[in-house]
Structures are given as structure tokens and as C-alpha cells.
Structure 1
Amino acid sequence: MHVAQTKDTLSDIYLASLKIRNTVFVKEQGVPLALEVDENEALAVHFVLYDDQNQSVATLRFLPIDAKTMKLQRMAVPKDYRGHGCGRILIEGAEAFAKAHHIEKITLGAQLTAQDFYQKLGYQAEGEVFLDADMPHIKMTKTL
């Protein structure tokens, strides 16, 4: 498996990311497309995990908050690939990218169903539960 990243919204990597996000967020979870694809697409770094057959199996994006902080967003793994470590591998690859670019902190809004997943990777919950796309989330952070 390998992780690829891009800021190019015309690239094959970005298009693979959108395909996964559409499958998971729009089709599976019912998030409106207008909320899922937003004005921050061109500002973000998009990551895709590819398996050994070069199939895209997971995605996320990092949105810069400031010079030292990134926000992890749009983390998605299709049902067929969940429970196989794809999310962990992708996040570890994205965190390596962040460290190489002198990022010190990553924040995210985790769906409550994914809170334990992120905690196992070192993210800590902060604050109160909030709604995003009508789903309960919790803010989480990790210092690199």
C-alpha cells in the first residue's frame, strides 16, 4: 500500500478522493453533495491510500489552519475496506507529511462513531458534541 497526495483538483489523486467521498458521505451517509464538496477543496492537501493493485481504498484531506496547524477532514474508507487498517495507514502517511512540513498540531471533527478509532491513534477529545451535516461530532486534537 502507498499514500499519495495532491493539491491539484484536476489530478487523478483528487478525482479518486472525490469518488471515495461520494460513496461514503453522499451515498452511504446521505450528506448533501453541496455540503460535502466545498469552497476549501483547492486550499486543502488531498490524500489517497492505494492498495497493492493500485485501487484507491481510503481518503482524507488536510486544510491548513495556520503555519503550524492542519485540520484533518473528509476521512473516508468504503465499507469493503473498513477493519483492515486502511484508515490507520492513511493517517500515519498524512501525519508523516505534516511532520515533514513542520506542522505541530492536527485537529479534526470526528463523527462520534469514529471517536475510538482516532483515540487509538493519539487524538484527544475536546469540548462538547456538535452537529455537522446533522451528525454528532466531537473536536479532537493531536500534537505531533
Structure 2
Amino acid sequence: MIVKWAANDSIRDDAHRVRELVFIEEQNVPRSLEMDAFDAVALHAVCYLEGQAVGAVRFRETTNNVGKVERLCVLSTHRGYGIGKHLMHAIEKLATLNQLSAVQLNAQSHALPFYEKLGYEAVSEPFMEANMPHVTMLKKL
């Protein structure tokens, strides 16, 4: 299992393919919501297993020295193998190297236990995003 940051269009394309399969096809998120303006400015990472792109995430710095994790996803055929955790560790390592004070994300409600195990805490009331309940979560570094 290896995480690669998108240094070229090929890796970014792999990230988009994984996101299309998970968010657009599996979860019925409209393409116009999934592929947004932040794709052009965010850093993208892909997790590869035996040469196949099986997970993806994007990351960007926001205000107040905080990084934002977005679009974390793993193919349904590869869930439960630690791929999401592997991607999150790569994000946290990058955030630490960039001397960010915290990392935040908007988690789908069903994913709260996953993020809580990684040390994230809910910091908002539930809200709807892409027709699904979410909660903002934060981890101080």
C-alpha cells in the first residue's frame, strides 16, 4: 500500500476516478457538487494497492493555520483494510510538516467512529451537505 501525492495529471485523474465511483456512482452525489473549484487548488493523494488506485483524498490549507481534509474515499471493494487510515496519516504528516495547528473535515455521519478513532472530535451540530448528514470534526496537531 502506497500513497502518492498528485505531482502529475495521471495521479490526479486516478483520484477523480475513485471519487466518481464512490461519491457520484455509489452515493449519488451530483457531479457539480463533487467536482468543484477547489479541485484546481487542493493537493490530491491516491492510495495504490498492487498498482490499482483504491482510495483518494484532497487537502488544502484554510484560514487560521488549519488544514482541511476533503473527499476522503475508498472503493467499496477495498474498505476495512486500513486504506482510509493510511491516507489520513499521510495528510496529518503533511500538515505537521507545514506546521499547521489543526486539521478539520466535514464527516458523513456514518463515518464518525472512523474519525473518532483517529483522534478527531465533533465541533458542530449535524448539518446537511450533498443531501447527507455531516458533522465538522477537528484534530489539533
The TM-score range, normalised by the shorter chain, is: over 0.9
Which of 11, 14, 37 matches 2:12?
14
Residue 65 in structure 1 maps to residue 67 in structure 2: no
- Under a length normalisation based on structure 2, what TM-score does the superposition of the two structures give? 0.95
Please tell me whether residue 140 in structure 1 is matched to residue 137 in structure 2: yes
Instruction: Deviation per CA, 1:65-88: give whole Å up to 9, x if none.
Output: 036211100000010110111110
Q: CA contact under 8 A between 1:43 and 1:64: conserved in structure 2?
A: no
- How far residue 19 of structure 1 moved from its aligned partner, in angstroms, is 0.3
Stretches of structure 1 lacking an aligned partner (at least 5 in a row): none
| Equivalent position to 2:47, from 22, 46, 49 | 49
Q: Superposed, which structure 2 residues align to 1:1-144 within 5 Å? A: 1-6=1-6, 11-51=9-49, 53-66=50-63, 68-144=65-141
What displacement does 1:97 show? Answer: 1.3
User: What is the alpha-carbon distance in structure 2 between the residues aligned to residue 141 and residue 26 of structure 1?
Assistant: 26
Structure 2: tracts of 5 or more residues without a match: none
The code of the aligned residue for 1:71 comes to: K
3-state SS, counterpart of residue 122 of structure 1? coil
- After alignment, is 58-67 or 71-80 more displaced? 58-67
| Structure 1 range deviating more: 96-105 or 13-22 | 96-105
The CA distance in 2 between the partners of 1:38 and 1:130, in whole Å, is: 20
In 2: Cα distance, 1:77 partner to 1:64 partner: 22
Aligned with 2:81: secondary structure?
A: coil
CA RMSD, aligned part only? 1.2
Once residues 69 and 121 of structure 2 are traced to their aligned partners in structure 1, the CA distance between those partners, rounded to angstroms, is: 14
Identity %: 37
Number of corresponding residues: 141
SS of match in other structure, 2:126: strand
How far did residue 63 of structure 1 move? 2.1
